[in-house]
Every structure is written in structure tokens, then in C-alpha cells.
């Protein structure tokens, strides 16, 4: 599971990612949608609010347009490493 240094995820969410990966052997990556929290400035608080309000709709739209495929945001994800080693010229 890949996390940013400032990411916070519950144990329940982490084990949920593992369960989803185990239940979907063809999945190469499963990631959570990021949500801002603990912001201090006015701009950051507005961004945090917008993320909470529009985030689920944005994520649903990505799911619809990507047709079961995905891209990697770089954090908050569980990755099946073997396909990346086999198909992306990564070192074993």
C-alpha cells in the first residue's frame, strides 16, 4: 500500500483495499479518492469543502469514463507489483 507522508487512512480502509485486491485478481491497482482535511487558510478550507461536496461525483465520473480502467494518482493505493514488473520494465 502506497501512502503520502501526509496521508491518513484508517486500518479499516487499508484492510478494505487488501480485501478488494484479493477479491479481484485481475486488478492491478485499487486506490482511494483523496479528501483534504485539517486545512487552516480560508482558501484551503474552501477547497476542503469542495472536495467533500464534489469528490464523490468526480470519482463516479472518472469511473464511468475510464470504463473499469484507471490511472495512478501516486498515493493512497494498493498495487499488484507483478504486472508492473512484467509489463513496465521495472527491476525485479
Q: For residues 20 and 30, state if they share a domain.
A: yes
Could you give the CA distance from residue 52 to residue 42 in angstroms, rounded to a whole number? 15
58 shares its domain with 78: no
Band of residue 16 on the pLDDT scale cut at 50, 70, 90: very high
What domain range is 11 assigned to? Answer: 1-34+73-92
When divided into structural domains, the chain yields a total of 2
Q: Is 77 in a helix, a strand, or coil? A: strand
Residues 41 and 30 in one domain: no
CA neighbours closer than 13 Å in the CB half-sphere of residue 87: 6
Summarize pLDDT for 35-83 with one digit per residue, the tens: 888 889 999 999 999 989 998 898 889 889 988 777 777 778 888 888 8
C-alpha cell at 72: 495512478
Q: What pTM was computed for the model?
A: 0.69
Query: Same domain for 40 and 28?
Result: no
Residues 42 and 15 reside in one and the same domain: no
Amino acid at each position: 500500500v502506497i501512502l503520502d507522508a501526509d496521508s491518513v487512512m484508517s486500518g479499516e480502509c487499508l484492510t478494505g483495499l487488501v480485501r478488494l485486491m484479493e477479491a479481484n485478481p485481475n486488478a492491478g491497482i485499487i486506490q482511494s479518492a483523496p479528501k483534504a482535511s485539517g486545512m487552516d487558510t480560508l482558501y484551503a478550507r474552501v477547497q476542503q469543502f469542495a472536495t467533500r461536496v464534489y469528490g464523490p461525483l468526480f470519482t463516479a465520473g472518472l469511473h464511468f469514463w475510464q470504463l473499469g480502467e484507471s490511472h495512478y494518482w501516486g498515493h493512497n493505493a494498493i498495487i499488484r507489483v507483478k504486472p508492473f514488473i512484467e509489463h513496465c520494465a521495472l527491476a525485479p
